[in-house]
């Protein structure tokens, strides 16, 4: 079959969010402007010495990419010839698949920095060692509350998984002859990310119950960001069963991603949560709130004390 003839026999996974249609124009412009504001704020925080943290560089690039993404989506929504453009759809679907995974990894990196930050402090009263204190830090110095170096080691092990999750990032193309592979990649990507976010939730719950003196507000902030990323993962898993003909991307049938209701679900459960994550990150000084320092926590374990 020639490339200029519509292929209505091969079924492919329906594009997440459908193709850009006129009703996508207004929300695309809105989110392009909102992400431009987020980009300016996060870039300003990276520039300022008191808030500079290189963990945020990816967020700066991601926010700028989303400005371009939504600008292109708005442009395509107004130009019929671009709506089903294959190269543009490959870009749209790839960046949508990878964006929320990047957010999930950042949440894990910030959680690691927060929980692995040393918290020993002088004690005005003689410390009464509990069984958990002895277990976690049997050599705490007299006159100080425990610093829990062993616990920080466990935290680093529990949070050292982002690289594995990024193996599930989606690098896909829209090709009817490989539809099963594309769908499998999408399912694996969303499933791995959701599993990671459940793990983050378990670590957060454990930290609240077991880690002494962890500030509660940063924990709430990270839990909120993780929950928003999980909403995106669940939404993606819920729509991946939908298929559409390779030559019928403009179909407005049910499960095409192009009906008004499906468009609304995309903007509410995919786009809005991702933006709220970026906005939550821009709203605070991550370096101060999460104790990241300049690079975040990159040590495998605490250095041995000098004797």
Q: How far is CA 52 from CA 25, 63, 282, 292, 295, in A?
A: 35, 17, 12, 10, 9
How far, rounded to the nearest angstrom, does the alpha carbon of residue 168 sit from its chain's CA centroid? 13
Q: Given the DSSP bridges, would you call strands 11-13 and 243-245 parallel, antiparallel or unpaired?
A: antiparallel
- Higher pLDDT among residues 173 and 25, named by residue: 25
Q: What is the dihedral of CA 112, 233, 272, 17, to 10 degrees?
A: 150
Give the Å distances, CA to CA, from 147 to 95, 100, 131, 211, 299: 42, 34, 15, 10, 17
- Are the C-beta atoms of residues 78 and 24 closer than 8 Å to each other? no
Among 34-38, 128-132, 200-204, top mean pLDDT goes to: 34-38
Asked if residue 168 has pLDDT above 70, the reply is no
Report residue 12: phi and psi, to 5°. Answer: -125, 160
Whole-number mean pLDDT of the chain?
A: 77
Q: How far is CA 142 from the centre of its chain?
A: 42
**Ranges 15-19, 77-81, 110-114, 170-174: which has the least confidence:** 170-174
Percent of the chain topping pLDDT 90: 33
Per residue in 223-234, pLDDT (tens digit) is 999 899 999 989
Q: Give domain limits for the chain.
A: 11-119+146-290
Give 160's Cβ-side CA count (13 Å radius).
11
How would CATH label the architecture of 11-119+146-290? Answer: Up-down Bundle (1.20)
Task: Report long-range pairs for 258-263 (Cβ below 8 Å, ≥24 apart).
Answer: 258/18, 258/19, 258/21, 259/18, 260/23, 262/18, 263/17, 263/18, 263/21, 263/23, 263/24
Handedness of CA 286, 291, 293, 299 (dihedral sign): negative
Any bridge partners for residue 243, and if so which?
Answer: 13
Distance CA 32, CA 68 (A): 7
More confident position, 170 or 115: 115
């Amino acid at each position: 079959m020639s490339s200029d003839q519509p292929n209505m026999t091969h079924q492919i996974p329906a594009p997440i969010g459908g193709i850009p249609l006129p009703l996508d124009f207004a929300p695309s412009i809105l989110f392009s402007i909102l992400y431009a504001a987020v980009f300016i704020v996060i870039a300003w925080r990276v520039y300022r010495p008191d808030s500079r943290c290189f963990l945020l560089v990816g967020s700066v690039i991601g926010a700028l990419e989303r400005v371009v993404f939504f600008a292109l989506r708005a442009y395509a929504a107004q130009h019929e010839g671009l709506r089903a453009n294959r190269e543009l759809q490959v870009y749209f679907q790839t960046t949508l698949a990878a964006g929320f995974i990047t957010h999930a990894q950042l949440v894990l990196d910030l959680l690691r920095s927060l929980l692995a930050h040393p918290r020993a402090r002088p004690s005005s009263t003689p410390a009464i060692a509990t069984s958990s204190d002895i277990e976690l830090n049997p050599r705490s110095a007299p006159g100080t509350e425990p610093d829990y170096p062993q616990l920080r080691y466990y935290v680093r092990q529990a949070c050292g998984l982002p690289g594995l999750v990024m193996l599930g990032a989606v690098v896909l193309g829209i090709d009817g002859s490989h539809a099963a592979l594309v769908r499998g990649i999408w399912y694996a990507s969303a499933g791995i990310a959701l599993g990671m976010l459940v793990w983050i939730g378990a670590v957060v719950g454990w930290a609240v119950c077991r880690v002494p003196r962890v500030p509660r507000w940063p924990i709430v902030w990270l839990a909120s960001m993780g929950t928003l990323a999980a909403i995106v993962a669940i939404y993606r898993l819920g729509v991946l069963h939908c298929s559409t003909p390779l030559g019928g991307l403009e179909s407005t049938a049910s499960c095409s991603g192009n009906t008004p209701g499906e468009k609304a679900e995309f903007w509410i459960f995919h786009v809005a949560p991702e933006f709220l994550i970026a906005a939550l990150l821009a709203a605070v000084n991550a370096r101060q709130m999460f104790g990241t320092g300049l690079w975040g926590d990159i040590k495998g374990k605490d250095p041995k004390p000098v004797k």
